């Protein structure tokens, strides 16, 4: 099958590092951490008290106050980031029919804060006090639903849910919707807001999160020997993906080309990645096959790099198994060292990083890398961004459930 060329024509970001693509990107290049002590709720008794919260976010800057009140925080993030992406892509003034614009925004968790509030009402006041808005505010697909309502886009619309790979799957499935011709444009990415008492307690009980509570900015240290878990982030990342034919017909600005997507499962364990990295490796290989590229052509990898002891070790094995002797020559970074782990929005942020890396020939660093780990022995672009020619960038995201998703972005030529 001859594939269409698919390009990225707009991006939008709400993140702990910045609430525009520009602030996000310049923040990452300068090594800015978005991680801090949690301010959003009282963390008394919590094992982990640090996170990457979105700050300076007023939802009414992006939507009507009445509309903002009716949706969960993760959907507010989705709308805010979609406004920026849609604006940059020039979709508002385009003549593309609404039916040809789809929306596919992933979320791993959905409206957890809403669920917590309503469960408390159920317990303290009884079932008749549970809000009729609980279900529409909570369900994870509402990010796609609400963004379509907000902008009036009537093309294919659903949500991929695959934990920390949700937005990477969304972006990849958007690629295939465009390939099969059901839309000319898809507004895709991810949105997440799970820094809530239950969310933090649940991940902490798994011992998945860093407990370096006295050093929030040093707590996310992917590939470093002293890493002790991830730090949660929140926000949204949105990309406007479009067929090259559509983008050229309307003279849209093209940021980068999206050339391949891979998706596999470990079939191993509900939360632990396969220790040989074979599932992730197969997802990388699948993306390269669709992109018709050779492993030697990959010039940057944005790793999943969560800063958990297992992920970073097994992901390193996956990269080595695909890239072999060339693996040490490929710059790899984990921007989670600065953003924290955005769960269902991580892949969207990181695909945007890949797109900006190929566009600008710059690679943001892995911060907090101080002590090499013999089991993680590749080039992780430690602590300082790098200016280097980047033609093809690979993004990797791996989710609880054993979901592996990868995407490939190429400099637009």
Partner 1 sequence: MSSTADKVIEVICEKLSVTADQCLPEAKFIDDLGADSLDTVELVMELEEQFNVTIPDEVSENILTVGDAIKFVEENA
Query: Rounded to the nearest whole angstrom, what is the least distance from the CB of residue 134 to partner 1 in the complex?
Result: 10
Task: Tell me whether residue 17 or residue 113 sits nearer to partner 1 (CB atom).
Answer: 113
Pick one of 3, 133, 201, 244: the residue that binds partner 1 (CB under 8 A): 133
**Is residue 126 close enough to count as binding partner 1 by CB under 8 A?**
no
- CB nearer to partner 1: pick between 136 and 295: 136
Are residues 40 and 57 in contact, defined by beta-carbon separation less than 8 angstroms? no
List the one residue from 31, 40, 90, 136 that touches partner 1 (CB under 8 A).
136
Structure tokens at 55: 């700050």
Q: Which of 73, 6, 129 is nearest to 409 (CA)?
A: 6
Residue 290 CB partners (closer than 8 Å, separation 6+)? 3, 259, 260, 261, 262
Which one of the listed residues 169, 290, 341, 403 is annotated catalytic?
341
Least Å distance, CB 83 to partner 1, is 20
What's the closest the beta carbon of residue 152 comes to partner 1, in angstroms? 18
Query: Which CB sits closer to partner 1, 131 or 370?
Result: 131
CB 132 → partner 1: shortest distance, Å?
A: 4
- Interacting span for partner 1 (CB under 8 A) from 75-83, 123-131, 148-156, 354-362: 123-131
Q: Segment contacting partner 1 (CB under 8 A): 131-139, 180-188, 208-216, 326-334?
A: 131-139
Q: Which of 75, 304, 354, 403 is catalytic?
A: 304
Query: Using CA atoms in the order 76, 81, 85, 90, what is the torsion angle rounded to 10 degrees?
Result: 40
Return the number of the residue (1 or 66) whose C-beta is nearest partner 1. 66
Nearer to partner 1, 53 or 72 (CB): 72
Q: 114's torsion region: left (phi>0), alpha (psi -120 to 50) or beta?
A: alpha
Helix or strand (DSSP H, E) at 123: helix 112-125
**Pick 62 or 369: Cβ nearer partner 1:** 62
Name the residue among 387, 345, 336 with its Cα closest to residue 224.
Answer: 336
Query: What stretches of 132-266 show up as alpha helix (H) in DSSP?
Result: 134-138, 142-151, 166-180, 197-205, 244-249
CB of 141 to partner 1, least distance (A): 17
Fill in the DSSP letter of residue 55: -
Residue 403 designated active-site: no
Q: How far apart are CA 298 and CA 390, in angstroms?
A: 8
What is the rounded CA–CA span in Å between residue 32 and residue 337? 9
Assess 128 for contact with partner 1 (CB under 8 A): yes
**Residue whose CB is less far from partner 1, 66 or 270:** 66
Check residue 129 for interaction with partner 1 (CB under 8 A): yes
Task: Classify burial at 147, counting beta carbons within 10 Å of its beta carbon; exposed 0-12, middle 13-18, buried 19 or more.
Answer: buried
Nearer to partner 1, 126 or 374 (CB): 126
Token output for 368: 């907090």
CA nearest to 327, candidates 266, 284, 268, 371: 284
Helices (H) and strands (E) in the chain, counts: 13, 14
Active-site entry in 48, 164, 354, 376:
164
* Residue linked to tokens 């997507």: 261
Minimum CB distance to partner 1, residue 131 (Å):
6
> Is residue 149 a contact residue for partner 1 (CB under 8 A)?
no
Size of the site for partner 1 (CB under 8 A): 11
221 Cβ contact list (under 8 Å, min separation 6): 227, 307, 337, 367, 368, 369, 370
Q: Does 122 bind partner 1 (CB under 8 A)?
A: no
Site string for partner 1, 40-79 (x = CB under 8 A): ------------------------xxx--x----------
Stretch that binds partner 1, among 126-134, 170-178, 279-287, 398-406 (CB under 8 A): 126-134
**Structure letter (DSSP) for residue 17:** S
Among 22, 30, 55, 131, binds partner 1 (CB under 8 A): 131
* Contacts to partner 1 by CB under 8 A: 64-66, 69, 125, 128-129, 131-133, 136
Residues recognised as catalytic: 164, 304, 341
């Amino acid at each position: 099958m001859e594939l269409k060329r698919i390009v990225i024509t707009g991006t939008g970001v709400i993140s702990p590092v910045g609430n525009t693509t520009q602030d996000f990107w310049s923040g990452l290049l300068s090594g800015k951490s978005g991680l801090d002590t949690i301010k959003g709720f009282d963390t008394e008794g919590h094992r982990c008290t640090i996170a990457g919260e979105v700050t300076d976010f007023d939802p009414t800057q992006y939507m009507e106050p009445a509309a903002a009140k009716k949706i969960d925080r993760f959907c507010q993030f989705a709308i805010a980031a979609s406004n920026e992406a849609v604006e940059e892509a020039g979709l508002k003034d385009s003549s593309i029919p609404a039916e040809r614009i789809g929306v596919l925004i992933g979320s791993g968790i959905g409206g957890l804060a809403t669920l917590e509030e309503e469960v408390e009402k159920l317990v303290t006041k009884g079932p008749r006090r549970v809000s009729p808005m609980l279900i529409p505010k909570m369900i994870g697909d509402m990010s796609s639903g609400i963004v379509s309502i907000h902008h009036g886009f009537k093309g294919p619309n659903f949500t991929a849910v695959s934990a920390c790979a949700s937005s990477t799957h969304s972006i990849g499935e958007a690629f295939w919707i465009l390939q099969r011709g059901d839309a000319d444009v898809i507004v895709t990415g991810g949105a997440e807001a799970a820094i809530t008492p239950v969310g933090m307690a649940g991940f902490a009980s798994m011992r998945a999160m860093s407990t370096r509570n006295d050093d929030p900015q040093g707590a996310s240290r992917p590939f470093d020997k002293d890493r002790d878990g991830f730090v949660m982030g929140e926000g949204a990342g949105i990309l406007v993906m479009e067929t090259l034919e559509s983008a050229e017909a309307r003279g849209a600005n093209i940021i980068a080309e999206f050339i391949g997507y891979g998706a596999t499962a470990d079939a191993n364990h509900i939360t632990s990645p396969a220790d040989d990295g074979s599932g992730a490796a197969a997802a990388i290989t699948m993306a390269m096959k669709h992109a018709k590229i050779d492993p030697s052509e990959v010039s940057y990898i944005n790793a999943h790099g969560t800063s958990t002891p297992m992920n970073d070790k097994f992901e390193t094995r996956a990269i080595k198994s695909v890239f072999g002797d060339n693996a040490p020559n490929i710059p790899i970074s984990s921007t989670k060292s600065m953003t924290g782990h955005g769960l269902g929005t991580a892949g969207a942020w990181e695909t945007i990083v890949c797109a900006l890396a190929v566009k600008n020939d710059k690679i943001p660093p892995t911060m907090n890398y101080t002590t090499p780990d013999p089991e993680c022995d590749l080039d992780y672009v430690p602590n300082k961004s790098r200016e280097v020619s980047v033609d093809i960038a690979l993004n990797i995201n791996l989710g609880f459930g054993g979901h592996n998703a990868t995407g490939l972005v190429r400099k637009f030529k």
